Amino acid sequence: MSTAIVETARAARLASVSLQSVTAEQKNEALLKIKQVLSERREEIFKANEEDKKIAEELVKQGKLSSSLFKRLDVCQGDKFDTILSGVSDIAELPDPTKKVTLATKLDEGLDLYRITVPVGVLLTIFEARPEVVVNISCLALKSGNAVILKGGKEATHTNAALARVIQDALASLPFKDIPKEAVQIVETREDINALLDLDRYIDLVVPRGSNSLVKFIQNNTRIPVLGHADGICSVYIDKDADIEKAKKIVVDSKTNYTAACNSAETLLVNEALLQNGEFSKVAKVLLDAGVTLKCEENVLNFIKSVSDISDDDKQKKLQPAVEEDFYTEFLDLIMAVKTVSNVDDAVVHINEHGSKHTDAIVTEDEKTADYFMTRVDAAGCYWNASTRFADGFRYGFGAEVGVSTNKTHARGPVGLEGLVIYKYKLFGHGQGAGDYGSGKKQYKHETIDPSNYII
């Protein structure tokens, strides 16, 4: 194993220890300094991003890079960079998630137990494209008192390196030294990752953001806990009691707002009653008009072909027969798998079998049906009459997100600051021993006490 990689991990561990004593005010000062320096060195970052995009364009032409990954690469387009900067400010304004008392119990006179939120320690984050992740995760890590080691995709090597360099320079310029620049580090090669995945003595949590194969590889090759999701197979179910105008808007937004995102809907389930009364034709038409290719089961395919309002051109070019594998597929494109179900129970069964436990939505005006769906669908997010695209840490008010977790561990769904802290128990005594308590001896009180009594 490379000595340099071990030193990287060890430096991150030492930085994480130093971060334990940093105040909330110092964390916010560090974040605002990062925002300032990022803004001042915008052109340097854009130049690096243009270099990555130039290389990526050739890879797309050669079929070696998907168009969806290319879209995620660009930080120069529109107001994207300003949005990244705003995200830093948003994180700074959030409450510090550490040093919160979540349990306070008097075991006996002079023997008080507290449960306190603390940073996880050292995060290893592995992601593909999306160079803004460097900023988002670095700031979330620092705000929650964690050190972070970043590994981005090779398609964004220059941009990732530039962003990490700027962040480290910002930290190095702070007037206090409890947040060393080693609190944010970046590595570049697959070999580096393989080595880091063995360093469970230094690294506390791995957060992968990328393809199914990336996540599965990490899960299968480390003893370090992994927080993340392999797929984003999100579904929208249109119930027989749906408001069709709502359904049209929700389905189109869920599919087309940003097709490359993991919260984009890939499957559309339709109550068969909507084919019988013809109402589904309105939903099918707006999807086709939006450029979506529909991979349909035979009855849906035949129904859409019979709709006079849909052009023959769309019927020929944008309709395809579905196969079972389509309902297990994350397309990340203007493609959607469509099938009918008899009722909400069938929709729940389908989603729990085929979905990825990410985010699923129901469109209905029936409250009981909505409650049944949202209670029984086993996903990190269940929505009623709302687009799946809302599954995002920024939209949830987290400032940003470190990723989306479909795990059933300490964090689930979009993971913000609260997902980057764990807790420890602190016991304050006056010389007591466990042997002082028991039959015929002292008894525990187990009384709830005022959390504000905790003063350290």
Long-range CB contacts for residues 85-89, cutoff 8 Å, separation at least 24: 85/35, 85/38, 85/39, 87/132, 87/135, 87/136, 87/139, 87/394, 87/399, 87/400, 88/31, 88/32, 88/34, 88/35, 88/38, 88/135, 88/139, 89/31, 89/32, 89/35
Residue 387 contacts residue 360 (beta carbons within 8 Å) = no
SS3 376: helix
Q: Where are the domains of the chain?
A: 3-227+402-420, 234-390
Distances (CA, A) of 301 to 12, 239, 253, 321: 55, 19, 22, 7
Residue 257 phi/psi, 5-degree rounding, is -55, -40
Decide which of 450 and 64 is more confident.
450
- The whole model's pTM is what? 0.84
Q: Residue 251 is encoded by which pair of tokens? A: 């389905």
SS3 251: helix
pLDDT for residue 1: 64
What is the CATH topology of the domain spanning 3-227+402-420? Aldehyde Dehydrogenase; Chain A, domain 1 (3.40.605)
Mean pLDDT of the region 389-412? 86
Residue-wise pLDDT for 37-91, tens only, equals: 999 999 999 999 999 999 998 888 888 887 777 878 889 888 989 999 998 999 9
Q: Does domain 234-390 have CATH number 3.40.309.10?
A: yes
Residue-wise pLDDT for 153-169, tens only, equals: 888 999 999 999 999 99
Q: Residue 388 is encoded by which pair of tokens? A: 């799946």
Question: Which strands form 421-428's sheet, in the order they lie side by side?
Answer: 421-428, 111-119, 101-108, 447-448
Give the residue among 351, 357, 359, 355 at the shortest CA–CA distance from 395. Answer: 359
Mean pLDDT of the region 143-150? 97
What spatial distance separates the first Cα and last Cα of the chain, rounded to whole Å? 40
Which residues make beta-bridge pairs with 351? none
Residue 148 contacts residue 96 (beta carbons within 8 Å) = no
Mean pLDDT of the region 348-352? 98
